[in-house]
Chain A
Amino acid sequence: MAVMHEMLSNNAFATMNRLEKGEEGVVYAVPDVRLLASLGIRSGKRVRVLAKSFASGPVIVDIERRSVVVDRSLAAQITIRK
C-alpha cells in the first residue's frame, strides 16, 4: 500500500479515472476482474482516453483501435504509467 501511495504521488503514475480526455499512458497494474484481459486491458498495453461520460459515467479508452468502456469505479483501480 505504501508503495502504491508513493507511485501515485509520483506524477508518472495515475489511476485511469484521473486521466483527462486525450491523455495517454501504459497500463501498469490491473485488478483481478474478469473480462478486463479479454477487452485488452492488460499491463503493458498503451491506452488513450477517448471520452469521459458525464454524471460519473464510464471512461472510454482506446486500446489498439478498440474502444473499451470502463466503469468509473473500476477505472479507479487501474494504474496507468504516463
Chain B
Amino acid sequence: MSCATTKSRDTKHKKILLMGLPNVGKSAIFSRFTGMHVMVSNYTGTTVEFTEGKMAVGDDTYTLIDVPGVYDIKQSVDDAERVAVSMLEEKPDAIVFVVDALNVESSVYLLMQVLEYKLPTVVALNRVDLLKVRSMRIDHRVIQAALNVPVVPTIALGGDSLDLVKERLARDLASPDAPHYVLEENELKRWDWVERITARALKPLSDNATIRQDRFAFLIRPWPGLPIAIGVLFLMFAAVIGIGMGLRQFLIMPLFEGIRIGEHTVGLFPWIRAGVEALGITGTFQRVLVGEYGFLIKGIEWPFGLVLPYVLSFYLSMSILEDTGYLPRLAVLLDGVFKKIGLPGNTIIPLLLGYGCGIPAILSTRSMRSRKQRVAVAVMISLAVPCVAQSSAFMFLLVEHSLLALVLVFMISVFAMVLAGFVMDRIKREPMPLTLTELPEMLAPNPALVGKKLLFRVRHYVKDGAIPMVIAIVVTAFLYEFGILDVAGRAMAPVVSGWLRLPEEAATPLIIGIVRRELAVLPLIDMNLSTVQLFTGAVVALFYVPCVAMIATLAKEFNAKVAVGTLLFTTTTAIVIGGLMARLGGLLATWLG
C-alpha cells in the first residue's frame, strides 16, 4: 500500500541503496529524498518489500531504493535479509547507510558488514535529537575516523540536515573512493571493536547526568499494563465513534441534506433532486438517479456521508497510536496470551489495522516469519474483523434500534476471531518462533507526520474504497429498477426468508455485499426490519464474503486455494450462524416479551 512503485525494477538510472537497522527512519529519509509517500511507523518491519523512487543528486537522477531494515547480513535467514544481500551483490552506485544514534553499536556492526562490499558509502547518523532524552550526546567524528567513511548527523523528521547527506553523496559519486577500514574477521573481536568505538563516540551530556532507563516499562507489566491496554483500546473505540459521529452530524450531513435558510433548503441533495427534475427526467431513469438505490444520492451518501467520517476518525486515532510506539509494547504485553493460540503477540497490529481495512492488514503480516501464522491471521481478519466501512454501517443500522445488538455484534466478532485462531492452531501445530526483538522509544506523535499519514490513507480510501462502492451502487440502481434483483430475491428466498427469516428483498445486500463489505449491511437500513432481523442481518454481513478486493489480495499474497477456501468458509459460517442467531434472537425476543 504505497504510491511509490514497488518491485518494478528501474534499470535506466544509477542506483543508490538506503540501508540500516529496522525502525531507524529509513523510510522517513526516503520520503524526504524522493518526495514520495512511504508508510512510516514507530515499529519494526513496516517496510518488508523494497520501495524505489527518483532522487536528484547533483545534476544526475538516481534511483533510490529503500531496503528493508536488518540487523545482520552475514547469515541471511529471513526475506528482508536476503533482499538486502541480493541488492548489495548487484553493485549499486552508492549506499546511504543510516546509523541510529539510539543504537550505535548494532548500527556500526551492520555498517562494517556493508562496508565489506567496498561501495561508495555516506553515513547518515540519524535521530541525534533523540539522544537528549537519554541525557547523551554523540561525536560523529569518532565513527568517521574509525571507519574512514563520511558521517553526517541528521534529523530525518525535520530540519535540512539531509541536504548535507546529498551534498556529500554528490561529491563522493563524482570521485568514488572506496573506504578502507579495520577488518576484524573474528566475530567476537569485531563486537569488542564496535563496543570500543561506541564508548568513545557516546558521551553523557554532563558529568553528573544519569542515563535513564525505559520509563515506560510499566506498560508491559501485567499491572498496570493490562488495565492501561483496555483503557487505551476503549479510548480509541470511543474516539473513533465520537469523532466520526460528530463529523457526520455537524459537518457532512448538513452539507448533503441541506440546512434551511429562510424558505429554502440549501444543500447538495436538494440541488441534485431539483436538477434531475429540472432536466425533465422521469420514470425509471429518475429512480435510477434519485430513487431507492438512486446513485446520485446513495452513491454520495454511503461512501462520503456514512463511511468517510469514520475513515477519518479511525485513521486519525490509528496513526497517532502507531507513532507513539505503544503498539509494540501492547504486542509484548499480550505475547504470552497470543501464544496460547499459536500466534505471536504482534498479531495484535494486523488485527487492529483490520478494523480499518483488511488489505493493508493482510499485507502487514508479511513481517511474520511463519506462513501458517500469516494464513491464520489473514483468515481471522477475513472472517471476523469488520473494516471501518462495515463498522460504520453497523453503527448506522443498529445504534437507534438497539445499542445492545450493536455491542453484541462486536463481541461476536472478537469471540469468533479467537475461536478461529484456536481451531486453526489445533488443526496444524507448528513450533513457535522465538520472540526476540527490541522496543522502539516512546515518542510524542508528530502532528505533521500524523497529518500526512492520515491524508495518504484517506486518499487510498477514496481511490480503492469509495470509487468501487460508487460503481457498485450504480450497477445496483439499474438492477433494482429493472426488476433483476427481485428475480434474484425470489430465487434466494429459501435461504433468505426460510432460513435467515429476513424479507425476500434482503437478498440484495447478499448479492452486492460480495463487492464490498458495507454493502452487505447498508441496504438493510430502509427495509423496516425488526431488531432480531437487523441483528441477524448484521451477523450474516459480519462473517460474509470479505469483499472482492480482499479475496484478490489473499490470492496474490498466498494462493488461489487460500482465497477460495476463505471465501467458502466465511460464506458458510455467515449463513449457518445467521440462521442460528435468527432463531436464538426470536426465542430471546419472545422470552423478554
A-B pairs, 4 with minimum CB distance = A57-B336, A55-B336, A38-B71, A50-B217
Listed stretches B103-111, B377-385, B533-541; interface member: B103-111
A-B contacts, 24 listed (Cβ < 8 Å)? A35-B71, A37-B72, A39-B437, A39-B438, A50-B217, A51-B217, A51-B218, A53-B221, A53-B335, A53-B336, A54-B336, A55-B337, A56-B336, A57-B339, A58-B335, A65-B102, A65-B134, A65-B211, A65-B212, A65-B214, A67-B438, A70-B435, A70-B436, A71-B434
Q: Given known contacts A40-B106, A50-B217, is B438 in contact with A57 (CB within 8 Å)? A: no
A21 at the interface (CB under 8 A from B): yes
Query: Does the CB pair A36–B436 fall under 8 Å?
Result: yes
Starting from the known contacts A39-B437, A51-B221, A65-B214, 10 additional A-B residue pairs (CB-CB under 8 Å) come to: A34-B72, A35-B436, A55-B336, A58-B332, A60-B439, A65-B212, A66-B102, A66-B103, A69-B438, A70-B436
Q: Which of B71, B102, B225, B435 makes the CB contact (< 8 A) with A58?
A: B435
Q: How far is the CA of A60 from the CA of B220 in the complex (A)?
A: 8
Residues on A with C-beta less than 8 A from B222 are 53-54
Q: Is B340 among interface residues, defined by CB-CB distance under 8 A?
A: yes
Asked whether B345 is an interface residue with its Cβ less than 8 Å from the other chain, the reply is yes
In-complex Cβ contact of A71 among B75, B214, B340, B435 (8 A): B435
Residue A68 CB within 8 A of the other chain: yes
Q: Could you tell me the distance between the alpha carbons of A72 and B345 in the complex, rounded to whole angstroms?
A: 13
A55 contacts B220, C-beta separation under 8 Å: no
Q: How far is the CA of A48 from the CA of B211 in the complex (A)?
A: 13
| Complex interface: chain B residues within 8 A of A73 (CB) | 434
Q: List B contacts of A48 (CB < 8 A).
A: 213
Once bound together, how far apart are the Cα atoms of A69 and B332, in whole Å? 8
Q: For A70, give the chain B residue with the smallest CB separation.
A: B436
State how many residues of chain B have any CB contact under 8 Å with chain A: 39
CB-defined contacts of B337 to chain A, threshold 8 Å: 54-55, 57
A51 close to B434 (CB less than 8 A): no
Let me know if B333 is at the binding interface, CB within 8 A: yes
**Which of A21, A33, A50, A74 has the largest count of B CB atoms less than 10 A from its CB?**
A50
Cβ of B569 within 8 Å of any chain A Cβ, yes or no, is no
| Residue numbers in A under 8 Å from B134 (CB-CB) | 65
Q: Chain B: residues with CB nearer than 8 A to chain A?
A: 71-72, 75, 77, 102-103, 105-106, 109-110, 134, 187, 191, 211-214, 217-218, 220-222, 225-226, 332-337, 339-340, 345, 434-439
Task: Assess the A38–B109 pair: CB atoms within 8 A.
Answer: yes
**B106: chain A residues within 8 A (beta carbon):** 38-40
A residues within 8 Å of B by Cβ?
A: 21, 33-40, 42, 48, 50-58, 60, 62, 64-74
Q: How close is A36's CB to chain B, nearest CB, in angstroms?
A: 7
Report the minimal beta-carbon distance from B421 to chain A, rounded to whole angstroms: 15
Q: Quick check: A35 and B221 within 8 Å, CB to CB?
A: no
Residues of chain A within 8 A (CB-CB) of B334 are 57
* Residues of chain A with a CB closer than 8 A to B436's CB: 33, 35-36, 39, 69-71, 74
> Which B residues are in CB contact (< 8 Å) with A53?
220-222, 332-333, 335-336
